[in-house]
Every structure is written in C-alpha cells, then in structure tokens.
Amino acid sequence: MKDILKLTLVLFLICAIVAGVLGAVDLITRDRIEAYQTAKSNAAKAAVMPVDVQEGEQPYENVELKDLGIDTTINANGQKIKILSVSRAANGAGYVVETEFSGAQGTLVMMVGVDPELRCTGISITQHSETSGLGANAASTAEVGVNFRSQFIGVDQTVQLKKAGGEIDALSGATITSRSVTNAASAAIRFVEALQSAN
Amino acid sequence: MSVTEYISIAIGAILINNFIFSQFLGCCPFLGCSSKVETASGMGLAVVFVMGLASAICYVVNEFILVPLGLAFLKTLAFILVIAALVQFVEMFLKKAVPSLYSALGIYLPLITTNCAVLGVVLLNVQNGYDFLGSVIYGITGGIGFLVAIVLFASVRERIQFSDYPECFEGFPICLISAGLVALAFMGFSGMKIF
Amino acid sequence: MNFKRQLKEGVITNNPILVQQLGMCATMAITTSLFNGVGMGLSVLIILTCCNVVVSAVRRFIPDQIRLAIFVVIIAGFVTIVDLLLQAYIPALSESLGVFIPLIVVNCIIIGRAEAFCQKNPVGPSFVDGITQGLGYTVVLIVMCVIREFLGSGRFGGGLIDAVKGFTLDGTGSGIQLFNAEYGASILTLPVGGFLTLGFIFAAMQAALKKAAKNKAERGDDEEEEEEDE
C-alpha cells in the first residue's frame, strides 16, 4: 500500500512538473502561433480578394455561420460542396468563402472570392491531393494553373465546363478535378446569395 | 455529420488512406509482428480494439477536459497516458481471458503503446475535427485497415521464406521491398470515389 | 567511452534505423524533401539529447516499476515543447511534418535509448549518446531524402537550399533542378517509394557490414586493440 502511494506520488509529481513547463512554453509561443494562423488565412483570402487596410486593422471579418440558419452543404450539379467558413472583406468588396469538396483523388479546400453582384473575383486552392501533373495543375503556380484559375474571374453561379455548355476550359486529363472546382465556385456564389438575402 | 460522411471515413481508413500503406503509421509492429499469419491477426485484432477504445476515451478527454480548460497543448501528453493505461488494461484482460493469444503476442502487446497508429489516430481525430461517432469509426476502421494490411503482408512473408533473393536482402530489406509492392497494390484504391 | 567510438556506433555500427531497426514510420513518411528530412532529423536529435540527459539525471529517483510511464511523460514533455516552438518559429516545417512531430513521442528510438543506455549511464555519456544516435538518425533521413528527391523528381535540396540562401525558413522553393521532373520515377515520391528506398538502403548496409566483418575476421584481432587505444 505504501509502495503504491509512493509510486503514485512520484508519477504525479513528474506529470505536474512537465505540465508546468509546457504551460510556460505555451504562454511564450501562443501569440506567435495565433498570429501566424491569422496571417496565413489572410494571405489565402487576399489571393482571391485583396483588401488594403491600415496597419493593426483586420482586413477580413469572420461571419458566424451557426446563427444564420443556412444549410452549409450545397448541392451543385449533383456534387455536395461543404462551406467551411465565410468572411466579409472590411472594405465591402464582398465575401471570401472557404469550400471543401472531393476531387478526383481526395479532398480539396478552396477559397472563392464573391463580390456583392454575385460574381466570382477569383479562386485559390489551399489544400489538395490531386495527381501531380494532371489535377494538381489546378493549384499550381505554373502558367497552366494560373490560366485555369483566371477563367473563373467574373463568372456567376451558372458557371459550367465547356463540355456541359459553359465557359470553363477543363484542364487536360483532369476533367473530374476541373468539374469539382467549377461546382465549388458555383456553390460558393449561391451561398453568398443566400447569405445576402438572409441579412 | 451525415451517414455518408461516416461511410466515407470508414472506407477511407480501410482502403484509400490505409494507415500503413499510405500514412506510414504503425510500421514497427507491422514489420516486427508479421512473420506468421496467426500472430499477425492477433496483433491486428488487439490494435483494432485499442484504437477504437482509445479514440472514444481520448475524444472525451479532449472535448470535455482539455479544450474547456484551455489545455489543448497538453493533448500529446494526455493521450499517450490514456493509451498506456488502456494497453495495460487490454494486457490484463487477455492474460485472464485468452491466455493462448497472450502468450502468442508476447512482447508485442506492451509495444502497442508505442504503436504510432494508435497515437496517430487520436491526434488525427482532433486534427480532422471528427465528432464522437466519427472518431470511434475512424479508430475502429483504421484498426481494421491495419489488420487487413498486416494479415495480407504476413501471408506474403510466409511465401518469401521459400523464395530466392540476393543474400544481402536477407531479413529486413526483403520485407520492406515486398511491403512496398503490397503498398503499390493499395495505391489502386486511391482513385476511388466515395460520395 | 569516448566520443569518437560513440559516434561510430551511433552512425554506423549501431545506427538506430539501419541496425537497431527503430523508428521506421517517420523515416519512410517524411523523407520527400531535404527540408523535411533535415528538420525532422534535427528535431529528433534535440529531443533525444534532452530526454537522455534528463532521464540519466533522475535515474536514481525513478522507481523501477513505473519507469516506462515516467520516460513516456518526460519524452512527451520535450516533444510538445519542440512542437510548440516549431509551430511558432518555423511554421512551414511544422506544417509539412504534420502529425509526425507529436508522433516522435512513440518513436522507439527515444524510449529505446532511455531504457537501454541512459538508465545505466551518467549524464555525460548519455548526452553524447543522444547526439551521436540523433546524428545517425539524421544521416539516414538525409540519404533517403536525397535519393527519393533526385530519382523521383530530379531535384536536390528541395526547400533547404533556398532556406540557406535567403535565410527564410518557409520551405518553399524547389532546390536545384538537375533534370526535368517529367523524366523522374515519380513513384519514389509516393508512399511506395519510402518502402523501396529504405529496403535498398538496408540491403546495402547489411552487405557493407557483412563485408566489414569478413575483413575484420581475416585481419585478426589487430583492429580490436587499435580501437581501444584510440
């Protein structure tokens, strides 16, 4: 019995010391980690909707989706698109919608900028696991990727691939990826429409 | 989360993002404990059990203790302690209930504690933001993925014993190469559409 | 025990990956660019050294029955510290290594060294052991990265060379393109490549060790004595 007490005490003591040290490290690093996370998500949003603000001001304001009562899963041309977050640009230039959907290989996360006239201001893929050289071109910084994404500037919610009678040229060899990206852009615009009419 | 999401988590964990062949979690017991199909299946079942249980408990610990108290940075520490205690429990249980399996698994049972698949699954649950049911499903199906992989690989290994290969590949290297080939087969699942 | 001998043990004759066969998961998973490999190797080196020193310093106070639990707690502590520091100061590395940083907790190398070495040795040798074993681990990671990067995408030093050049640690940049990526065997950058590359490195190591042992046997005991003199 005495042994067990002693063992428990030693283990508890070590855990307490380690937890204390970790608490201290967390205090030091927490601000930096948070600042980095914000900077990163702001950079991704700025890629689709640049906003100039004074230093110290936040360029984007997060819209709380839970209180709105809008369905965050949107069915676009038969594909389910999940809306992860929406933020409003501080200068009233529109909204940045973060969407999640499945592509040809795995899940993609994409930022879509939408202006108040319900036109797309640009798309940027922040996460993907598409085939390199084919679907991955949708996210690449090479010419083919930039050209593909720039097609989305100015489109509205009826956006479609050329194969389906629309205006977007699919990436060669990556129709599935191109179609899901197009569907996500359309879903994001429709979500903003619902958001505006709810307000 | 909807039913289709749960199904896609399950299929993803077993086939598409198999813990061993595409995420490299749990390679040590996978390579160390796969020389016989019997031991491999025992080990795999123990892992399924521990991973399911660990996912459930760690979800509760994280959601109701660590996050409300703002102690999320302690999660690695808390999770590994939970897992260590759990493994101890499974070990005591097997010793009493299935002594034959207990003696077959030998030293590998305590090693489940240091199986990165177990710690990996609970950390991934938090990272992917799964709810309670989602976490448990991911844990169990991830374990099943491990079981499938290790049993398949053990059968391959039983055949390697009778095959001819260069001397310097004796033992570990040939295992790695054949594991690579099995992984190549699993890549075939990667294009599968879920929903 | 001296430094040279321990170094030889850590890097070659008792290499944590190639001889002790520990810590394979991360070795295969993250060795896709030199930036990741060096980052992971150094993280493990730092954690291993810290844990070795602490475990060896408190080894007399640890009750035998619960020593593993205490080792794990100490290791988890250091791993979390490194994880938080990386997230704060080198976020790109933290992102590309992902879940494999917290998973260093269950990397058998660290608990294995605590159990096999630091329990029985004073602080000094344990410190050296941490560094040499960590170096052994890093060397294998670097070799893996170089092979997989070169054959897989025709590059060398992805992320790292740019980091050194511009003093930025954002992990971007593709290093030096040695040949067109289209001609690379891209299978080596996929998970399968991890298994295959490590298998071949293992085989090469086994062949080399066998040859060395043979030479040694032929030359007799001369070398043994020589080594002790060093």
| Domain residue spans of chain A | 1-199
Which range (A34-48, A153-167, C126-140, C161-175) has the least confidence? C161-175
The domain of C137 spans 3-150+187-229
Q: Is residue C204 part of a domain?
A: yes
Q: Which residues of A touch C63 (CB under 8 A)?
A: 6-7, 10
Residue B192 is predicted with a pLDDT of 62
Residue A83 is predicted with a pLDDT of 87
All chains having 3 or more CB pairs closer than 8 angstroms to chain B: A, C
Token pair belonging to C155 = 């590059």
> CB-CB: which of B77, B190, B193 is closest to A18?
B77
| Substitution target from C50, C81, C155 for chain A, most A beta carbons within 10 A | C81
Q: Is A40 on the interface with B (CB under 8 A)?
A: no
Token pair belonging to B64 = 């109701």
Q: Is B76 on the interface with A (CB under 8 A)?
A: no
Searching chain C, which residue's CA lies closest to the CA of residue A20?
A: C77
Q: Is residue C221 part of a domain?
A: yes
> CB-CB: which of C62, C63, C77 is closest to A18?
C77
Which residue type sits at C92?
A: A
Q: Is residue C182 part of a domain?
A: no
pLDDT band at B105 (very low <50, low <70, confident <90, very high): low
B77 with A102: Cβ contact below 8 A? no
Print burial letters for A106-137: b (CB count within 10 Å at least 16), e (below 16): bbbbbbbbbbeeebbbbbbbbebebbeebbbb
Searching chain C, which residue's CA lies closest to the CA of residue B20?
A: C25
User: What's the predicted TM-score (pTM) here?
Assistant: 0.81
The ipTM of this complex is 0.81
Residue C181 is predicted with a pLDDT of 66
Other Cβ atoms closer than 10 A to C132: 25
Which range (C19-23, C65-69, C96-100, C217-221) has the least confidence? C217-221
Token pair belonging to C121 = 């040795």
pLDDT band at A199 (very low <50, low <70, confident <90, very high): low
Q: Is B171 on the interface with C (CB under 8 A)?
A: yes
| Integer Cα distance of C118 and C181 in angstroms | 46
Q: Looking at the predicted structure, is the pLDDT value of residue C78 above 90?
A: yes
Per-residue pLDDT tens over the stretch B18-47: 888 888 888 877 887 788 888 788 888 888
Q: Is A26 on the interface with B (CB under 8 A)?
A: yes
In the structure, how many helices (H) and strands (E) does chain C have? 10, 2
pLDDT band at C228 (very low <50, low <70, confident <90, very high): very low
Residue C230 is predicted with a pLDDT of 32
C84 with A25: Cβ contact below 8 A? yes
Per-residue pLDDT tens over the stretch A101-145: 887 767 788 999 898 888 888 898 888 777 766 777 888 777 888
Q: Looking at the predicted structure, is the pLDDT value of residue B98 above 90?
A: no
How many folded domains does chain C comprise?
Answer: 1
User: Helix, strand, or coil here: A56?
Assistant: coil
Assess contact for B52 and B138: CB atoms under 8 A: no
pLDDT band at C170 (very low <50, low <70, confident <90, very high): low
C206 with B170: Cβ contact below 8 A? yes
Question: Measured in whole angstroms, how far is the alpha carbon of residue A135 from the centre of its chain?
Answer: 18
Q: Is residue C75 part of a domain?
A: yes
Q: Is A13 on the interface with C (CB under 8 A)?
A: no
Q: Looking at the predicted structure, is the pLDDT value of residue B140 above 90?
A: yes
Which class for C3: exposed (0-12), middle (13-18), buried (19 or more C-beta within 10 A)?
Answer: exposed
Residue C163 is predicted with a pLDDT of 62
pLDDT band at B138 (very low <50, low <70, confident <90, very high): very high
pLDDT band at C168 (very low <50, low <70, confident <90, very high): low
Q: Is residue C162 part of a domain?
A: no
> CB-CB: which of A22, A80, A105 is closest to B74?
A22
